[in-house]
Amino acid sequence: MLDIKFIREHPDVVKEGCRKKQVRIDIDKILRLDEQKRKLLKNIEALRGKRNLSTRVRPLQKEITEAKEIKKQLKDLGKKFKEIEKEFNELMLRVPNLPSDSVPIGKSEKDNVVIKKAGEKTKFDFKPRNYLEIAEKLDLIDTKRAAKVSGTRFGILKKEAVLLKFALRDFASDILVKEGFVPVDPPVMIKPEMMQGMGYVERGSQEIYHLKDDNLLLVGTAEQSIGPMHAEEIFEEKNLPKRYFSFTPCFRREAGSYGRDTKGIFRVHQFDKLEMFIFCKPEKSAEEHKFLLSLEEKIMQLLEIHYQVVQICTGDLGDPAAAKHDIEVWFPSESRYRETHSTSNCTDFQARRLNIRYRDLKNKKLEFVHTLNGTAVAIGRTLIAIIENYQQKDGSIKIPKILEKYLGKSEIK
């Protein structure tokens, strides 16, 4: 949520930011409702003051009549105030976070900018096979039985694929613990108001699984569980930055992706992911964003897989993000890059909605923290990247050297 004071003082900046994100929202209407709300509040306070002045131990008949009239006026104004406040709040929740000045302007993912490539593309002396073909022959991934049990966009990991999943989890966890991240294991079912606080309901609700009988939502990423942990809380400045990571199942309806990656496990309804999340002081969020990206790159470099870093353009940013980077890994069988990681700086957008602040010792004030998130390992997509880039001519798969000690072997055959 944006600060209404900022919208009042910089309406054109807000309108331009919304335009860059391709979000249609009537900022002028928000300002009109804000003005009406403030005038009504001023009238209500004046009437309350008048009522208090007219109250005596033994009021006269004139004052009794006047008090009844004031009571009626307060009731009418209060009802009108609530109506306007409701409409105002609904519109405010639909205003997205504004993109940072450093974000490239564009309309869609086609306008995202590649800012870095790292490592070398895997070279083969044979035609590389698709990961699913390799995995099915080795009995590592079973989509047919998964479809029998649950339908499309599900997969069953088996044998070494399961062990590789745990190896990736432990490998990334070791890195993050050494960097001072606190491991947490949060619920993956959260209240609707907590999801709304994270900024994923106004645009994006079609992606969310809703357990209607319990009025709970399944998270699409652990970020949505970790952020609300500190709702309505105040951090002490000395305790920032606060860095967490969590390994959880994630659930996405994949609405609107009909026909895309319906086979295999690249785009599924349920997957496991190790997610990083940071609460920090506003002046540190750009630095923390770079830190998250550096950790994502470190993980891919240690896995020795070729990748590129992409800066996401304004039109491809979600509501909460002010800036975002993706890591895309080279898939030999498709001769293209596919996204495996993302990291976003959400500035104070989520913190305002969840009322998460810190005590600034220098200014003796309470300020909103900034929040950031980043993928450490998306298990399914990283498994695919390993199978594709470490496949051998005889159909076996080499294990990245960094994972050998976790897996206890150097190849899958």
What 116-121 contacts at long range (C-beta under 8 Å, 24+ apart), as own/partner pairs, is 116/308, 116/309, 117/306, 117/307, 117/308, 117/309, 118/297, 118/300, 118/301, 118/306, 118/307, 118/308, 118/309, 119/300, 119/301, 119/304, 119/305, 119/306, 119/307, 120/306, 121/306, 121/330, 121/332
Catalytic-residue membership of 260 = no
Residue identified by tokens 């989890």 is 169
Q: Is 203 helix (H, G, I), strand (E, B) or coil?
A: coil
Q: How far apart are CA 189 and CA 375, in angstroms?
A: 20
Q: Which of 225, 246, 342, 344 is catalytic?
A: 342
Decide if 339 is catalytic. yes
From the list 253, 267, 338, 359, the catalytic residue is 267
Helices (runs of H) and strands (runs of E) counted in the chain: 13, 18
User: What is d(CA 275, CA 289) in angstroms, rounded to the nearest whole number?
Assistant: 14
Residue 314: count other Cβ atoms within 10 Å of its Cβ. Answer: 20
Residue 246 tokens, joined: 């969590």
267 is catalytic: yes
Nearest to 93 by CA among 356, 370, 354, 353: 353
- Cα separation, 44 vs 26, in Å, equals 27
Whether 342 is catalytic is yes
Six-digit token pair at 236? 């002490």
d(CA 100, CA 345): 9
Q: In terms of DSSP bridges, do strands 336-345 and 370-378 run parallel, antiparallel, or are they unpaired?
A: antiparallel
Q: Which of 252, 352, 353, 357 is catalytic?
A: 252
Q: Which residues are catalytic?
A: 252, 267, 339, 342, 381
